[in-house]
């Protein structure tokens, strides 16, 4: 599943080129997770006023309302001056006078939803429960510690939940916990302030490096021009079960948490 770095890489791949563009057409393919919520022809003639991100949602602000795009489990966005003929897994095209944006999603768990504004109940139904953005000034160590003290679940599961901090998905939670020296099964409320501070730094570092490397391409993800990400090549623990830890040579372990694979080093990461 594309996580925050992949979504941010995608956004940066077309944001500047789409700003100010006028919508010339909208094409819908097979139904996605939710309906568009507006007649496609009503978007024609509108201009793109912003291209931002909230968690794993890309927000395209228009002259009237805006679009919320989610890549789902296997989706990707492609941007080009001229789109080729659509295929069976191309489910949404936004055609503008500055290029065309296409959502390609083989599993159709992605979404494109129109809302009258990004503060409208339609948008807040998707965005309202999201935690703080980890790469923003609002992600502050002391507030992070206070929020974790109120959570009794395993720290890995709390990070994946997205209510405390948004977008730290499975790959990057495993990597950040390794850098912070924290066992993924440790209860969030038991973490001391110094350990939370290390985790805060690790989250920011891992996500920033992942964005610089174009995200992680494990299965389907590619950027808007078809390029792959390379963060997975630098992973310390993720996907390395049985391989030696790059720090202490102890074999990396894997366990299942909430039906997700968690990778960790028993020696470097303490409860």
Among candidate residues 93, 127, 161, the one where a domain is terminated: 127
Mean of all residue pLDDT scores within the chain: 93
Indicate if 158 and 245 belong to the same structural domain.
Answer: yes
| 237: DSSP letter | S
CA 65, distance to chain mean position in Å, is 23
Residue 187 in this model has a pLDDT that exceeds 70? yes
Q: 222: domain CATH number? A: 1.10.8.50
pLDDT band at 144 (very low <50, low <70, confident <90, very high): very high
Judge whether 30 counts as a catalytic residue: no
Tokens for 236, please give them.
């310390």
pLDDT above 80 (res 220): no
**What mean pLDDT is predicted for residues 73-79?**
91
One of 54, 198, 253, 260 is an active-site residue; which one?
A: 260
Range of the domain at 230: 141-264
pLDDT of residue 27 exceeding 80, the answer is: yes
Residues 108 and 165 in one domain: no
Domain match, 219 and 150 both: yes
Asked, for residue 134, whether it belongs to a domain, the answer is no
Using only the alpha carbons of the chain, give its radius of gyration: 20
Distances (CA, A) of 127 to 59, 131, 138, 151: 11, 9, 16, 21
Q: Is residue 107 part of a domain?
A: yes
Asked whether residue 218 carries a pLDDT value surpassing 50, the answer given is no
Nearest of 237, 137, 226 to residue 177 by alpha carbon: 237
Is 269 within the bounds of a domain? no
Is residue 5 annotated as a catalytic residue, yes or no?
A: no
H helix count then E strand count, the chain: 6, 10
- 169 and 256 in one domain? yes
Number of domains in the chain: 2
pLDDT class for 108, splitting at 50, 70, 90?
very high
Q: Residue 174's pLDDT band (boundaries 50, 70, 90)?
A: very high
- What pLDDT score was predicted for residue 84? 81
**Domain's final residue, options 127, 153, 174:** 127
Of 11, 56, 102, 183, which residue is the catalytic one?
Answer: 56
For residue 271, tell me if it sits in a domain. Answer: no
8 is catalytic: no
Q: Are residues 116 and 222 in the same domain?
A: no
Rounded distance between C-alpha atoms, residue 25 and residue 41, angstroms: 7
- Is 2 among the residues known to form the active site? yes
Last residue of a domain, one of 127, 150, 182: 127
Rounded distance between C-alpha atoms, residue 203 and residue 208, angstroms: 8
Residues 257 and 145 in one domain: yes
User: Hey, which residues does 111 pair with through a beta bridge?
Assistant: 70
């Amino acid at each position: 599943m594309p996580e925050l770095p992949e979504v941010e890489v995608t956004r940066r791949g077309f944001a500047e080129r789409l700003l100010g563009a006028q919508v010339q057409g909208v094409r819908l393919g097979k139904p996605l997770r939710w309906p568009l919520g507006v007649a496609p022809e009503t978007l024609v003639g509108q201009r793109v006023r912003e291209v931002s991100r909230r968690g794993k949602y890309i927000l395209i602000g228009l002259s009237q309302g805006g679009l919320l795009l989610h890549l789902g489990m296997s989706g990707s966005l492609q941007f080009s001056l001229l789109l080729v003929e659509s295929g069976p897994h191309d489910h949404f095209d936004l055609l503008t006078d500055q290029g065309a944006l296409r959502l390609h999603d083989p599993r159709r768990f992605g979404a494109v939803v129109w809302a009258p504004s990004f503060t409208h109940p339609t948008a807040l139904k998707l965005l309202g429960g999201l935690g703080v953005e980890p790469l923003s000034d609002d992600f502050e160590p002391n507030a992070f510690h206070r929020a974790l003290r109120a959570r009794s679940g395993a720290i890995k599961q709390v990070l994946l939940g997205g209510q405390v901090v948004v977008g730290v998905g499975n790959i990057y939670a495993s990597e950040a916990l390794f850098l912070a020296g924290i066992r993924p099964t440790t209860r969030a409320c038991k973490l001391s302030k110094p350990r939370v501070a290390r985790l805060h730094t690790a989250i920011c570092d891992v996500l920033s490096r992942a964005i610089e490397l174009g995200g992680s391409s494990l299965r389907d993800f590619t950027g808007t021009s078809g390029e792959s990400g390379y963060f997975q090549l630098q992973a310390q623990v993720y996907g390395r079960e049985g391989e030696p830890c790059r720090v202490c040579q102890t074999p990396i372990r894997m366990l299942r948490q909430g039906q997700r694979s968690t990778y960790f080093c028993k020696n470097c990461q303490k409860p």
